[in-house]
Structure 1
Amino acid sequence: MTTPKDIEKDLRYLQLLAHSFPTIADASTEIINLQAILNLPKGTEHFLADIHGEYEAFQHVIKNASGNIKRKVNDLFGTTLRESEKRELCTLIYYPEQKLELVRANEEDLDDWYHITLHKLVAVCRDISSKYTRSKVRSTLPPDFAYIIEELLHERTDDLNKAAYVNVIIDTIISTGRANDFIIAMAEVIQHLAIDQLHLLGDIFDRGPGAHRIMDLMEQYRHWDITWGNHDILWMGAAAGNDACICNVIRLSLRYSNLVTLEEGYGINLIPLATFAMEMYKDDPCKEFQPNLNGGAESTNAKTQRLTAQMHKAIAVMQFKIEAQMYHKHPEWRMEDRDLLSNINYEKGTITIGGKEYDLKSNNFPTIDPANPTRLTEEEEALMKHLHHFFMVSEKLHRHLRALLGHGCMYGICNNNLLYHASVPLNDDGTLKSVEIRPGHSCSGLELMTDIGMQIRAAFQNDTPDDERQYAIDYFLYLWCGPDSPLFDKSKMATFERYFIADKETHHEAKGNYFLLRDNETICDNILDAFGVNGNNRHIINGHVPVHVASGENPIKANGKLMVIDGGFSQAYHKETGIAGYTLVYHSRGFQLVQHEPFTSTEKAIMQGTDIKSTTQIVEMSSHRMLVADTDKGVELNKQIADLKKLLYAYRHGFIKESERKK
């Protein structure tokens, strides 16, 4: 109950609040509005992880809301429409511009098709928008059609008094030549309302060819957030000017024969690298560096593959040198043993690791001085300056970087769900591991994630002291491959070994304790406690390690406390996982895990009406339909209501005078 002391304590804040609600009527109306919102059904959240540049598949999953739009169409029209008609309607909603071109070319009675289709679209939009307030729906409407759509959504043809009114609106849309534009607008509204909040659990970049297109899409998306993945961090490090990250980004692009994102997306000029590689490795078959063409990359001719392999080897050797320099620069990382170039006997063609000698598959290192193996040659220095410059001046790359910073963090907590990409470092006994993230400063758990996030941002802030900023830029490399990095959490990244040593014993990367213990419910509860995630139905949701469904692995772990939703969006993983990605859907009835099969192509989806085949698994259902009041937003709205009630008290007891001005 509000008391005069409460008002006196909060008077300054209430006076500021009074500027937004200057009268008793204004404050009362807002309380009524917020109380009503609390009793609406909870909005639908979608969780996706490890997209890895697969733009077409990602775009389709967003457009079809992980199959939710198709389910809505089936529920609405049941047996009143043939399957082919429902399929055509769904395709129109997903790809309205392209589908309309086909319809205009093939439909004999276009006006009749428009009339029937517009009524169907209004019915779908009305159903999907029913859980939102009018003001929220209004905010998604395009200005040109906002009034018309709003009228159609809230008037029904089964009301005889309004049937003629609705029909005249639709007839006029057609007669004025606006039907195509209106259909496109309606389809986009349906897509936007089908997903209330999109959570990306990291790794937009690498492997697939469309990371830049995904980021273009996300720049236009309304409600989304991202917990950064190790591949996102690698690109962020490259954009910050970390040369080791730049080399890794280019190497991975060459490894998967995918230069579209680099060259076409971000304008990174690789001609200097190609020229250098052809000269240095002209007589080298570069067998170990042949591109991986099983990841969906377009087939290339032998000449192009050879050049790609030469560029691949050239940038890999530069990467190993620069990484080794950085490990010695930062002994506190305890990674100096990863300077493998210094362990090579260049005369014998062998390398010593852990006291054991191994033969190298290739001993052709024309740019390495055995007396100083980690030093770049003059040519490599010049090349690195060129590449560094291209990453620094790419306007589009830095625009996308700002989007990642603006919408992202190392972890997120939303509606009793703890989100992060890979892991939380743990000791052998499952307790939180203390990690040194800068000299003299160690922390664990929540503090570790928070401090890493602040350090990442410091790399891009001009007011950061030079030495701190440089360390933050360097630290991107540790986040990418450091043993205690929460984005990696393995004993080593065996890149060199996989290229140069045949013995697969050396390829093994021992997983950190998190991955060994994450199926333990008590461990998961302890992590949730450490991050302050409360409630009976609380979960950890992450990706990073593909779930091997084909081998019988279950993505639901720790008795339902942990959900691993990396199902292998990347084509390179399809054979390994047996599927093509997951979407975790959290709606007002509970959790559903949607398992996707490989996507054919956007062209087939438009021309033939093919959709991603998806299987839905019920993970956890609520005993009652969850309302906005049951969410984080509900907590915030209740706080706002309490503040407004204090404002009413202040008005009615003379602490603050009502204003005659209108808002």
Structure 2
Amino acid sequence: MEKEYYKLLSQKYKNVGEVTSEIINLEAILNLPKGTEHYLTDLHGEYHAFRHLVKTASGNLKIKIDELFGEILSIEEKHNFSKLIFYPEKILENLELSKKDKEHWYKISIKRILALFKLVSSKYTRSKVRKTLPSEYAYILEEFLTLNSKDFNKEEYYSQILSTIIELDIADDFIIKSVNLIQQLAVDKLHILGDIYDRGPEPHKIMDSLINHHNCDIQWGNHDILWIGASKGHLPCVANVLRISLRYSNLKVLEEGYGINLLPLGRFAIETYGDDPCTEFLPIANSMELFNDKEQYVRGQMHKAITIIQFKLEAKVISERPEFNMEKRMLLDKINFEKGTILLNEKEYKLTSNNFPTIDPKDPYKLTDREEEIIKKIGKYFKKSDKLKRHARFFFSNGSIYLKYNNQLMFHGCIPMDLDGNYKSFTIDGKNYNGKKLMDKFEELARKAYFKGDKRELDWLWYMWTGEYSPLFGKEDMKTFERYFIKEKETHKEIKNPYYKLRENEEIILKLMKHFDVTEDNGHIINGHTPVLTKKGELPMRAGNKLLVIDGGLSKAYQKTTGTAGYTLIYNSYGLRLASHEPFTTLEKAIEDSHEIISVIQLVDKAKRKKVKDTDTGIKLIKNLKELRVLLKLYREGHLISSK
């Protein structure tokens, strides 16, 4: 078998020269600095804030500019140059200079851009950089890469290239494409730790951006898995997606993003709840002022209509799947419709509304014919959306429930634990799973559900959104009914899995790291899902700095509570840097105050400078090198014959 393998390998490297050339190449690559990784989490549909973080590499590009130009440029000059690097189109669009001044500005700016390009590309092989170059400017950019400050013989040559770029009126295009290249090279790999979807208006644009990204991965969040289920037409998932979108007035993602027709639901809601003020269901998002009273009222009616449908659909799944152990979430049969009350835990609570025209007290979970017709129709719209299909598939091609990469363990939610720090077991198909095995099993179930697609398998996607043992959810219950219909806050409390308290303990985190084969030296767990309440003194670095919680979050709804717009993480060859961000308000303000959006950059873990050989990629390359050295020996000893 081994001999056959090397015969196959010899077809790729046909002679001693090709083998030695590749050995030299790989040895050189192993000694390059480790590529920069960028970690973001809980994007919640905030596309513009997300793009700002990607464009700026969470402050890493600003550091590069400071390193490069130090005392050469003033603070204002560096700030203006940063704006050009982050938002070239906007800066060029608003450039108001005379022809002579503009030519001078172009020459200075392009020289600075090329200097920054040379710096950010220095981590990579010439071959890798060459593959990223825009075809129309590849020759020019390669020439500038070889430029030496002492190369006096070529000064006029390079100067003429710049002059010709300006003369041909392609300077704007050259700047934009060069800057995009710098943004790409500034980060070698982007990690998204879940919840691209939720209350924000443009998760579909984030997904398009990620699909076009040169190198990214996703660790699934509970909102992501809900949308994946909806993309397959699983009706409880569809109803939840509709409810959340209506709650925050974010219909743009449904109608414009994915082409989902909501007219059937709108007509039904107006007819059914025409006299109901639907006070509990009026949109609560910041975008409310964009709609007049009538529009808000209609959305409130639609919101209530789909919420009742959701409760009925979920009850059907719960009754059909006793292994989910979620019977306590079936609440409609606990309502006293005559009194307008509900009995919970032997205590009676008054409901905020007792108008339930589609609920039959004798059979409260039965959908009316109209409800069934509407939800099935909308479910088909979800299934037929090509864009949603493409986005859902990307979660599987580039995503997973957790990821261990370069000795960092990433996941969105939690590892279910009991109060003593033991891994909680959950029975699936008669077998108990806990810890890493439970995570692996849920990923297997998700993939099987999506690609097999029958309803029973798809129920697992809904469970992963809301079930007690789901590592993506991490709570005992989701108190949706109580939050809408009961004023008493005691009923709203959702009890988190003990993991969220235990993770403050370094011993627990080290135990988890060992469980996932993450070594203590320079290893960490990186976690999202729960906002870091900076106002209350919470810190993102916990458990002796071995746990990093980087959800702040980007969602505007959280920022009053958290006091920040979240945390992001940069892991370069020198170690881990944590960046704290100020709220993103408008694109114009972000351009003007780009240096202030990132307020603090804090060193988490400084290490001896890491090289490619110290990474997961390096491990693979070292294995390749060993095989190549064996192949070289086989050639030299005559066991394999070289070909020309």
Show the counterpart of 2:487. 502
Where 1:460 maps in the other structure, the secondary structure is helix
CA drift at 1:82: 3.2
- Structure 2 residue aligned with 1:627, among 611, 628, 633? 611
- Structure 2 residue aligned with 1:354, among 345, 349, 354? 345
Structure-2 change in CA distance of 1:489 and 1:608 (3 Å) = closer
2:335 & 2:585 partners in 1: Cα distance? 46
- Structure 2 residue aligned with 1:113, among 84, 105, 127? 105
Show the counterpart of 1:175. 167
Show the counterpart of 1:601. 586
Show the counterpart of 2:561. 576
The answer on 1:382 being equivalent to 2:373 is: yes
Show the counterpart of 2:405. 414
1:314 & 1:412 partners in 2: Cα distance? 39
Show the counterpart of 1:639. 623
Letter in 2 for 1:394: S
2:307 & 2:99 partners in 1: Cα distance? 56
CA drift at 1:483: 0.7
Where 1:364 maps in the other structure, the secondary structure is coil
Contact 2:16 2:632 in 1 (8 A): yes
After the TM superposition, list the runs of 4 or more consecutive aligned residues in structure 1 that deviate by more than 6 angstroms.
607-610
1:126 & 1:363 partners in 2: Cα distance? 67
Contact 1:156 1:162 in 2 (8 A): no
Show the counterpart of 2:43. 51
- Structure 1 residue aligned with 2:153, among 144, 154, 161? 161
Structural RMSD (CA): 1.6
Letter in 2 for 1:432: Y
Where 2:459 maps in the other structure, the secondary structure is helix
1:69 & 1:516 partners in 2: Cα distance? 35
Structure-2 change in CA distance of 1:116 and 1:621 (3 Å) = same
Contact 1:240 1:459 in 2 (8 A): no
Show the counterpart of 1:395. 386
Letter in 2 for 1:378: D
Where 2:140 maps in the other structure, the secondary structure is helix
Give the TM-score of the pair, scaled to structure 2: 0.97
Residue deviations 1:311-330 (CA, integer Å, cap 9, x gap): 11111010011011110010
- Structure 2 residue aligned with 1:457, among 429, 447, 471? 447
**More displaced stretch, 498-507 vs 86-95:** 86-95
Structure-2 change in CA distance of 1:105 and 1:497 (3 Å) = farther
CA drift at 1:299: 3.0
Where 1:365 maps in the other structure, the secondary structure is coil
Show the counterpart of 2:28. 36
Structure-2 change in CA distance of 1:59 and 1:405 (3 Å) = same
Residue deviations 1:546-566 (CA, integer Å, cap 9, x gap): 010111001111111111110
2:33 & 2:407 partners in 1: Cα distance? 17
CA drift at 1:74: 2.2
Contact 2:234 2:455 in 1 (8 A): no
CA drift at 1:298: 5.2
CA drift at 1:470: 2.7
Show the counterpart of 2:540. 555
CA drift at 1:120: 0.7
Letter in 1 for 2:463: Y
Contact 1:244 1:323 in 2 (8 A): yes
Contact 2:583 2:597 in 1 (8 A): yes
2:95 & 2:7 partners in 1: Cα distance? 58
CA drift at 1:353: 1.2
1:248 & 1:287 partners in 2: Cα distance? 19
Contact 2:58 2:598 in 1 (8 A): no
- Structure 2 residue aligned with 1:490, among 471, 475, 498? 475
2:259 & 2:289 partners in 1: Cα distance? 20
Residue deviations 1:427-468 (CA, integer Å, cap 9, x gap): 2321222222x332331222222221122111232xx4x7xx
**More displaced stretch, 17-26 vs 408-417:** 17-26
Show the counterpart of 1:4. none
2:80 & 2:613 partners in 1: Cα distance? 37
Note the 1:524-535 alignment, pairs <5 A: 524-535=509-520
CA drift at 1:492: 0.5
Contact 1:550 1:577 in 2 (8 A): yes
Show the counterpart of 2:311. 320
Letter in 1 for 2:424: K
2:104 & 2:474 partners in 1: Cα distance? 60
The answer on 1:345 being equivalent to 2:330 is: no
Contact 1:445 1:531 in 2 (8 A): no
Q: What is the number of equivalent residue pairs in this alignment? A: 644
Contact 1:546 1:577 in 2 (8 A): yes
Contact 1:254 1:308 in 2 (8 A): yes
CA drift at 1:150: 1.2
Letter in 2 for 1:620: D
Contact 2:195 2:221 in 1 (8 A): yes
Note the 1:125-144 alignment, pairs <5 A: 125-144=117-136
- Structure 2 residue aligned with 1:197, among 189, 192, 205? 189
- Structure 1 residue aligned with 2:238, among 238, 242, 246? 246
CA drift at 1:293: 2.8
Contact 2:513 2:520 in 1 (8 A): no
Residue deviations 1:62-106 (CA, integer Å, cap 9, x gap): 001111112222222233323333222222222222322212677
Show the counterpart of 2:265. 273
The answer on 1:335 being equivalent to 2:335 is: no
Letter in 2 for 1:192: Q
Letter in 1 for 2:232: A
CA drift at 1:214: 0.5
Where 2:122 maps in the other structure, the secondary structure is helix
**More displaced stretch, 512-521 vs 155-164:** 155-164
- Structure 1 residue aligned with 2:498, among 509, 513, 518? 513
CA drift at 1:108: 5.4
Show the counterpart of 2:200. 208
- What are structure 1's unaligned runs of at least 5 residues? 1-8
1:158 & 1:281 partners in 2: Cα distance? 78
Show the counterpart of 1:148. 140
Show the counterpart of 2:641. 657
Show the counterpart of 1:300. 291
2:197 & 2:172 partners in 1: Cα distance? 35
The answer on 1:475 being equivalent to 2:485 is: no
1:523 & 1:66 partners in 2: Cα distance? 30
Where 2:177 maps in the other structure, the secondary structure is helix
Contact 2:19 2:628 in 1 (8 A): yes
Letter in 2 for 1:275: R
CA drift at 1:472: 2.1
Where 1:559 maps in the other structure, the secondary structure is coil
Residue deviations 1:467-506 (CA, integer Å, cap 9, x gap): xx43221111110110111011211100100100111111
1:474 & 1:206 partners in 2: Cα distance? 20
- Structure 2 residue aligned with 1:78, among 58, 64, 70? 70
Letter in 1 for 2:102: L
